[in-house]
Structure 1
Amino acid sequence: MEGIHRAKGFEKIVEPVRLTSKSRIKFQCYPGVPCFKLCCSELYLPLTPYDILRLKRFLNLTSDEFLLRYTEPFILPKSGLPIARLKMQDNEEKTCPFLGEAGCTVYEVRPLACRYYPLGFGLFRNRDEGKNEDFFYLVKEGFCQGLESGEEITVEEYRISQGIPGLEEPIFEWAEIIMKKESLGPVEVPEKSLELFFMVSTNPERFKSFVFDTKFLDIFEVDEKELVAIKEDELRLLQFGFKWLKTVLFGENLVKRRKESPSVKKVKPF
């Protein structure tokens, strides 16, 4: 199963345990724990579009500045889709770029994957019931001394305590795109489709320019109220982008096309 990390200072890798939202766990992390900050190095930490939006705002950076300074491109192994992941510092420990003496310097807007730790999260399509289902697993790294300590709570209680639900809802359709592509198997993805997915997923300024400064609005019909909203609100822009990706990549009619001219070349669906 994905999500297994090599224990720092230990040779043994402990298999994750599959959980539900009602499963009960014990975990606490604070500066007094001997292993504090040890989990903040040698990470392969994927960033969601909402992670990037919140972090670049917090740091008062443009998307281009944030991406160049703090991320590197990464291909998701199952879907083959490109995303951004956090780039570790070029030091011996390969520590997180946001790790300071007292801990996380961006704790208020820390990425979703950081909030989940020591839990992992998965999403799959239940074809029999025709709906998406999620699952969780507990990653037991050998160095972690916060496991099995503290008060026992359910997985859902832990998620709520970390502010996770409010950060997942805005990117649900983005996760669905990845899941749908995974379900297609090893299908060759056109380069243009990969570029569009990466742009929407990582760079709201570039996507906004793509919508308003190209022939986009000559090709797609967008309600005036929606146009005002996506021009003023980057989160609304992101969510519009997810619907548009579903339209051009999977043929879903979520953003309607205008009558096409012969000169317009359609993006080839997956």
Structure 2
Amino acid sequence: MHDDQTREFLDSLPELEADKTYHFKCHPAVACFNACCSDLNLVLTPYDVLRLRRSLGLGSVEFLRAHTTMHTVPDTGFPEFRLRMIDNQARSCPFVRDAGCSVYPDRPGACRMYPLGRATRPDGQGGVREHFFIVREDHCLGFDEPDEWTGDSWKQDQGFMAYTASNDRYMTLLARIRQAGAPVPEKMGHMATLALYKLDEFQRFIVQTRLFARLDMDEARRKAVLEDEEAALEFAMDWLELMLFHASPNLKPRR
């Protein structure tokens, strides 16, 4: 969508009010259990990839090759990875079993929020404006269950807050690129793939290129970036912001 179309779409969504409640529960006794886990067009954020491949015990290159398809987004030049469905009639999710999701504690953010949908856009003050809305699909019987939720209580119950922090930071970076009016050069797109989606490779790149020597960083953060992938992802977004816009509030070049 173009920015005007996106804005119009977001404004048209029925926003879920903070105190509005709905009923929902998904479990194996519900007749439609697992029905929503097929024929998906699921975009994976960098944080989704981090959590999934760590859950599976895979390196980044192995995970991306086995479980994703990739294309370059025309208006940003950044990569976009989508979960690769099984090549069967149902286009089933590769991680779903009869008993449910085999990667449930580390399932992607979009799966985590269902049956809520979440759309965001920059709020003009460095943050994001979000819309939450209920996704009602004809086959879903979970809405007949007695469990009652609000948008906030569902987010807390599903552990979505860790995803929000990382995903919003990433969406803000993409929004800045779009506002600049041109996609990034191809070389920078490749660097974004490395920094955001191949964190184990990116950590090695940092050491091999002595990247820290060119940045004003304290020793504690350097250590965390090389030992903790969440810290590495946060650093990657700061570094890309510095490379693209020559300034980042969280990272400075060494003078």
TM-score (norm: length of structure 1):
0.81
What CA distance in whole angstroms lies between the structure 1 residues aligned with 2:72 and 2:225? Answer: 28
**Partner residue, 1:5:** none
Residues 83-126 of structure 1 show CA distances to partners (whole Å, capped at 9, x for unaligned) of: 32211011111100101111111112111110111211112223
**Partner residue, 1:66:** 63
Task: Quote the offset at 1:215 in angstroms.
Answer: 4.7
What CA distance in whole angstroms lies between the structure 1 residues aligned with 2:112 and 2:46? Answer: 15
Task: Quote the offset at 1:148 in angstroms.
Answer: 5.0
**Partner residue, 2:25:** 28
Asked whether 1:19 is paired with 2:13, we answer no
What CA distance in whole angstroms lies between the structure 2 residues aligned with 1:25 and 1:77? Answer: 38
- 1:38-57, aligned counterparts within 5 Å? 38-57=35-54
Residues 137-169 of structure 1 show CA distances to partners (whole Å, capped at 9, x for unaligned) of: 222222222235423321111111111113322
Residues 34-63 of structure 1 show CA distances to partners (whole Å, capped at 9, x for unaligned) of: 211111111111222222222222211111
What CA distance in whole angstroms lies between the structure 1 residues aligned with 2:242 and 2:92? Answer: 39
Asked whether 1:256 is paired with 2:249, we answer no
2:158 to 162, 167, 174: 162
Task: Quote the offset at 1:134 in angstroms.
Answer: 1.4
1:96 match: secondary structure: coil
TM-score (norm: length of structure 2):
0.85
Asked whether 1:210 is paired with 2:177, we answer no
Asked whether 1:110 is paired with 2:107, we answer yes
Work out whether residues 120 and 130 of structure 2, in 8 Å CA contact, stay in contact via their aligned partners in 1: yes
Pick the structure with more helix per residue. Answer: 2
1:18 match: secondary structure: coil
Task: Quote the offset at 1:23 in angstroms.
Answer: 3.2
For structure 1, the residue ranges without an aligned partner over 5 or more in a row are 3-14, 260-270
What CA distance in whole angstroms lies between the structure 2 residues aligned with 1:103 and 1:144? Answer: 15
- Give the partner amino acid of 2:152: E
For structure 2, the residue ranges without an aligned partner over 5 or more in a row are 3-11
Work out whether residues 230 and 237 of structure 1, in 8 Å CA contact, stay in contact via their aligned partners in 2: yes
Residue 142 to residue 92, structure 1, CA distance change in 2 (3 Å): same
What CA distance in whole angstroms lies between the structure 2 residues aligned with 1:130 and 1:86? Answer: 30
- 1:215-230, aligned counterparts within 5 Å? 215-230=210-225
Task: Quote the offset at 1:221 in angstroms.
Answer: 3.4
2:37 match: secondary structure: coil
Residue 204 to residue 131, structure 1, CA distance change in 2 (3 Å): closer
CA RMSD of aligned residues (A): 2.5
What CA distance in whole angstroms lies between the structure 1 residues aligned with 2:115 and 2:71? Answer: 22
Asked whether 1:231 is paired with 2:226, we answer yes
Work out whether residues 72 and 85 of structure 1, in 8 Å CA contact, stay in contact via their aligned partners in 2: yes
